[in-house]
Amino acid sequence: MEKEEQELWDALGKIKTPTPSKEMKTRFHAMLDTYKNEQEAKNESGLLNGATSRVFDQIKAFFTPKPAFNWAYSLALAMVFGVVGYFVGKPAGGVPQSQQVANQDKVEKLSSEVQEMKQMMMLSMLENPEATERMKAVGYTQELQTVDNQVVEALLTTLNLDPDDNVRLVTLEALLELAKNPKVREGLVLSLSKQDSPMVQVALADAMVKMQEKRSIKQFKQMLNDSNLNKSVKTKIKKTIIALS
Partner 1 sequence: MNSLTDNSLMLKVKAGDLDKMGLLFERYHKPLFGFLYHSTGQRATSEDLVQTVFYRMLKYRHTFTESGEFRTWMYHLARNVLIDNAKKNNRIVYNENFTELSDKNLSESSFEKDFEKNEANEILQKSLTKLSLEHREVLVLSRFQELSYKEIAEILHTTEGNIKVKVHRAMKELKSIYMAFSC
Which residue's CB is nearer to partner 1, number 17 or number 212? Answer: 17
**Total H helices, total E strands in the chain:** 12, 0
Q: What torsion, rounded to 10 degrees, do the Cα atoms 122, 127, 128, 134 define?
A: 50
**Which one among 65, 163, 177, 183 touches partner 1, defined by CB under 8 A?**
163
Long-range contacts of 112-117 (CB under 8 A, 24+ apart): 115/144, 115/145, 115/146
Query: 145 in helix, strand or coil?
Result: coil
Smallest gap from Cβ 133 to partner 1, in A, equals 10
Q: Does 161 bind partner 1 (CB under 8 A)?
A: no
Beta-carbon contacts of 77 under 8 Å, excluding residues fewer than 6 positions away, are 63
Q: Does 42 bind partner 1 (CB under 8 A)?
A: no
Smallest gap from Cβ 73 to partner 1, in A, equals 38
Choose among 193, 184, 171: nearest CA to 213. 184
Q: Does 46 bind partner 1 (CB under 8 A)?
A: no
Q: Does 22 bind partner 1 (CB under 8 A)?
A: no
Q: What is the DSSP secondary structure assignment for residue 10, as one 8-state letter?
A: H
Which residue's CB is nearer to partner 1, number 9 or number 63? Answer: 9
Neighbours of 179 (CB within 10 A): 14
Smallest gap from Cβ 104 to partner 1, in A, equals 41
Q: Does 25 bind partner 1 (CB under 8 A)?
A: yes
User: Using CB under 8 A, which of the segments 2-10, 92-100, 135-143, 211-219 binds partner 1?
Assistant: 2-10
Beta-carbon contacts of 143 under 8 Å, excluding residues fewer than 6 positions away, are 118
Q: How many residues bind partner 1 (CB under 8 A)?
A: 31
Q: Does 92 bind partner 1 (CB under 8 A)?
A: no
Smallest gap from Cβ 127 to partner 1, in A, equals 10
Smallest gap from Cβ 123 to partner 1, in A, equals 17
Got the DSSP string for 102-145? HHHHHHHHHHHHHHHHHHHHHHHHTT-SSHHHHHHHHHHGGG-S
**Which one among 108, 116, 130, 186 touches partner 1, defined by CB under 8 A?**
130
Q: Does 36 bind partner 1 (CB under 8 A)?
A: yes
- Contact predicate 167/158, CB 8 Å: yes
Q: Does 129 bind partner 1 (CB under 8 A)?
A: yes
Neighbours of 237 (CB within 10 A): 25
Residues of this chain that interact with partner 1 (CB under 8 A) are 1-2, 4-5, 8-9, 11-15, 17-21, 23-25, 27-29, 31-32, 35-36, 39, 129-131, 163
